[in-house]
Amino acid sequence: MFGAVLLTLAVQLTERIEVHAIEVSASVRDASGKIPSDLKPEDFVLLEDGKPQQIIGVTVPAEHDHESRQKVVVYIQQSLSTTAGLRAAMTSLAAQLNGFDVEVVTDYPAPHRIDGLDQVLEGKEEVIQIRRKFKVMRRNATPDDATADLTNADQARVRARQESAVLRSRQDAMLDWLSRYPKAHRTLLFVSDGFDLDPSEFYGVDLHEWSSIAHQEEITRALAAQGWTIVSLATASQVRRATSFKPGTHEMVPHEVFVDVLGNSALTTINRRPLDPLSRLADATGGSVVTDASRLDLGPRVILTYQTDRADDGLPRRIDVRAVRPGLTVRAQRWAGAAEGDLPVTCAIRLGPLEKDIRNSEIEVNVDLTPIADDVASIDSGTLRFKISADSFTTTKDLDHLDFTSHLGWSTAIAIRHRTTARIVVTATETSTGAWGRCVANR
């Protein structure tokens, strides 16, 4: 009779409920500039669209993980940059990225891989050329030309329209290229002279309808949600940029000083706020902007994982991460999306001995990898990670180095102490693909 009761309970407590786990990449440092090895979920506060979320995991890079194991995609904005700037940047980067796993991409005429940082590239200055032609037109206008102001205004709109088309095409091409990579947390090193998002200040008329700010924000949100951390290297070729940052933050103050090689400020009339889009990319992805390659921050990052029961609508969610632990500084991505993949997970609870109002039970968890078989086909081994929560009790169990070549179904048993009325939640993740699933047992 007792065995029959256990079987009935196991059937009743087997349930599959959709869950989404979301990972957030963050640069976490203590007062000495190092990543603490004992970071815990309670060291942070994470908000999604302004609402507090439960952090269920903190992944700290192992001490033996050397920088050479990191994947860095160097994306060179050849279309908008100067030749001298690109060559100087690539020369300095070659020394800084020695030992990294580097893939080099240029965006001209369309994004494509190149052999390496020693390849000679010619800057195309697409937007700068548009602005120079406008300056020549204005300089050649005669003072007694009654239609000069009208001509200037019309020409300004024509040039602004051209700029907008160029910037949008370059932004879209960048997003399209980077979206081809599997979703994962990796670093993008964006090399660019920078550019203006709003042409109004340069042309001296209201041209906000041709502003690329809104489109840039869409691109930035998408890249952040895909897991990219963007570190921008603002090339210093014909200009020397003096930048400053808000005290205690990595946010750049919108103030740049331009001086050409002869000490003149003539280039001020070409680009007004070229570092603005670079700082926006950095802020949204938890990255940084530098003008000196020796100051690149490509160090390892901490992954914070939280889960939500809401349906995944495919839209990026606004993320805000703050440190609670004294002495910690955090720079995290501002947008995130749900992890791809869906694991069918079932669980059954076998009731154990009763001690007052506490039971010592056993959870049997079954995970089916069949729905993501295509994703795991090329993976030799991985980890199934289980997290079990019952009221205030939480435990985690890992199955390491699983053989995916012969098994797509896995099960494990986990001992648990819980109150007799506890709501028991089991979550599972396959760490190689990021797929998640969950089952719930209500007592």
3-state SS string for 316-346: CEEEEEEECCCCCEEEECCEECCCCCECCEE
- Which pLDDT score is estimated for 124? 93
Phi, psi (degrees; rounded to nearest 5) at 244: -140, 165
Which residues, other chains included, contact 3 with Cβ-Cβ below 8 Å and sequence gap of 6+?
none
| 8 A C-beta contact, residue 435 and residue 372 | yes
The burial class, CB within 10 Å (0-12 / 13-18 / 19+), for 155 is: middle
Q: Helices 148-178 and 213-225, interaxial angle, to 10°? A: 10
| 8 A C-beta contact, residue 85 and residue 236 | yes
Q: Record the tokens describing residue 184, joined without a space.
A: 């994962």
- Which pLDDT score is estimated for 180? 78
Q: What gap in Å lies between CA 141 and CA 313, rounded to an integer?
A: 54
Q: Helices 148-178 and 126-140, interaxial angle, to 10°? A: 180
Q: Compute the half-sphere exposure of residue 50: CA atoms within 13 Å on the CB side of its CA.
A: 0
CA 264 to chain centre: 38
Q: Which has the closest alpha carbon to 345: 365, 371, 316, 324?
A: 365
58: amino acid identity, one letter? V
- Which pLDDT score is estimated for 160? 93
- Averages of pLDDT over runs of 10 residues in the chain (443 residues) are 32 47 89 90 94 88 52 93 87 85 93 90 92 82 59 85 92 87 82 91 87 90 89 66 42 41 44 85 91 83 82 78 94 80 78 81 86 76 76 73 81 83 77 72 61
Domains (ranges, CATH) in the chain? 1-18+342-443 (2.60.40.10), 67-298 (3.40.50)
- Which pLDDT score is estimated for 104? 95
- Which pLDDT score is estimated for 366? 87
